[in-house]
């Protein structure tokens, strides 16, 4: 009897340990590496080269970015916390940056956000998005981590 009790207690501890381990893993599992200073530095350079012309040198986006222009295109949104980049899971951000918005939305949606899959490697795309994430306030980073966990990443 006592042996059984000891055993089930051991099993419970094991399960608890596994659960805690799983949660920790989730926190670190996201695909972006915003806590890695080298990756972030590389991403900042790539951002200046490939993204700043539309999304702004300070990630502030284009003026009146919520309104379509005369041709029906949406201007580039900010990548800082005033935009909605941080509302999307890593995988979505990587897909948008790789394939462009029109490819993801489908139909005859037109967008000036082209895909960078031909000009940047996957690691470079992760670096530039890691840089973007590294600039967000702690609260946005935490919510973004939860979005990633809910998304399964």
Per-residue x/- track, 5-34, ligand HEC (CB under 6 A): ------------------------------
Angle at 105 between CA 140 and CA 68, to 5 degrees: 75
Binding flag, residue 74, ligand HEC (CB under 6 A): yes
Residue located via tokens 């041709």: 71
Least distance to ligand HEC from the beta carbon of 57, Å? 12
User: What is the footprint of ligand HEC within residues 98-117 (CB under 6 A)?
Assistant: 101, 111-113, 116
Residue located via tokens 């009146």: 64
d(CA 147, CA 112): 26
Instruction: Out of 128, 130, 133, 134, point to the residue binding ligand HEC (CB under 6 A).
Output: 128
Binding flag, residue 50, ligand HEC (CB under 6 A): yes
Contact 83, 51 (CB under 8 A): no
Residues 6+ apart with CB under 8 A from 20: none
What values do phi and psi take at 104, rounded to 5?
-80, -40
Residue located via tokens 């949660």: 23
Binding flag, residue 77, ligand HEC (CB under 6 A): yes
Instruction: Out of 29, 31, 54, 140, point to the residue binding ligand HEC (CB under 6 A).
Output: 54
> Total binding residues for ligand HEC by CB under 6 A?
22
Instruction: Out of 51, 59, 126, 127, point to the residue binding ligand HEC (CB under 6 A).
Output: 51
Residues near ligand HEC (CB under 6 A) are: 50-51, 53-55, 74-77, 83-85, 93, 96-97, 101, 111-113, 116, 128-129
């Amino acid at each position: 009897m006592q042996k059984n009790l000891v055993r089930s207690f051991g099993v419970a501890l094991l399960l608890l340990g596994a659960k805690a381990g799983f949660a920790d893993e989730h926190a670190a599992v996201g695909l972006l590496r915003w806590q890695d200073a080298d990756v972030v530095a590389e991403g900042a350079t790539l951002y200046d080269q490939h993204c700043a012309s539309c999304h702004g040198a300070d990630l502030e986006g284009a003026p009146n970015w919520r309104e379509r222009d005369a041709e029906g295109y949406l201007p580039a949104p900010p990548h800082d916390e005033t935009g909605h980049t941080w509302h999307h899971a890593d995988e979505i951000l990587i897909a948008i940056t790789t394939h462009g918005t029109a490819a993801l939305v489908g139909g005859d949606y037109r967008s000036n956000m082209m895909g960078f899959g031909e000009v940047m490697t996957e690691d470079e795309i992760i670096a530039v998005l890691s840089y973007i994430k590294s600039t967000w306030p702690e609260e946005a980073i935490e919510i973004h981590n939860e979005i990633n966990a809910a998304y399964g990443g």
